[in-house]
Chain A
Amino acid sequence: MTISVTINGEPIAATVEPRLLVCDFLRDHLGLTGTHIGCEHGVCGACTVLVDGRTARSCLMFAAQLDGAEVETVEGLLLPDGELSPLQASFRDNHGLQCGFCTPGMLMTATELLRQDGRLDREGVREAISGNLCRCTGYETIVDAILTAGRDQAEETA
Chain B
Amino acid sequence: MKPAPFDYRRPATKAEALRLLSDHRDDDAKILAGGQSLVPMMNFRMAQPTVIIDINRLSDLAFVEERGECIAIGALTRHNDVMHHLLVRIHLPLLAMAYENVAHHTIRNRGTIGGNVVHADAASEVPAVLTALDAEFVIESTEGVRVVGADDFFLGVFTTAVETHELLVEIRIPRPNARAGVSFEEVSLRKGDFAIVSVAVEIAADDGQIESARIAIGGVEERALRAEAAEQALVGASLSDDVIQAAAAAQIDAISFFDAPGLSAAYRRDTAKALLERNIRAAAARAGRMN
Contact = CB atoms under 8 A, between A and B. Distances in A.
Whether chains A and B associate is: yes
Interface of A: 1, 17-21, 24, 40-42, 45, 48, 54-57, 59-62, 64-65, 67, 109, 127-128, 130-131
19 contacts: A18-B6, A19-B1, A19-B4, A41-B40, A42-B40, A54-B109, A57-B110, A59-B39, A60-B35, A60-B39, A60-B40, A60-B110, A61-B110, A64-B8, A64-B10, A127-B105, A130-B104, A130-B191, A131-B107
B106 A56 contact: yes
B8 A1 contact: yes
A41 B43 contact: yes
Nearest to A1: B8
A21 B191 CA distance: 27
Nearest to A108: B106
Interface of B: 1-8, 10, 32, 35-36, 39-40, 42-44, 52, 54, 56, 103-107, 109-110, 191-192
Nearest to A68: B57
Contacts of A42: 36, 39-40, 107
The 9 closest A-B pairs by CB, nearest first: A131-B104, A18-B8, A41-B40, A55-B106, A60-B39, A19-B3, A54-B109, A131-B106, A42-B40
Nearest to B109: A54
Nearest to B38: A60
Contacts of A62: 8, 32, 35, 39, 52, 54
A65 B39 contact: no
Contacts of B105: 55, 109, 127-128, 130-131
A19 to B, nearest CB: 5
Nearest to B104: A131
Contact of B106 (A18, A57, A64): A57
Given A24-B1, A41-B43, A130 B6 contact: no
B7 A55 contact: no
A97 to B, nearest CB: 19
Contact of A40 (B2, B6, B104): B2
B104 to A, nearest CB: 3
Nearest to A113: B105
Contacts of B54: 62, 64-65
Contacts of B4: 19
A17 B1 contact: yes
B109 A55 contact: yes
A28 to B, nearest CB: 9
Given A60-B39, A60-B40, A65-B32, 9 more contacts: A20-B1, A21-B2, A24-B1, A42-B40, A55-B105, A60-B36, A64-B8, A127-B105, A131-B106
Contacts of A61: 35, 39, 110
A20 B39 CA distance: 11
Contacts of B110: 54, 56-57, 60-61
A40 to B, nearest CB: 5
B1 A18 contact: no
Contacts of A45: 104, 106
B31 to A, nearest CB: 13
Q: Of B40, B54, B104, B191, which is in contact with the most chain A CB atoms at under 10 Å from its CB?
A: B104
Contacts of A59: 39, 43
A42 B43 CA distance: 10
Nearest to B56: A65
Nearest to B7: A18
Contacts of B35: 60-62
A48 B106 contact: yes
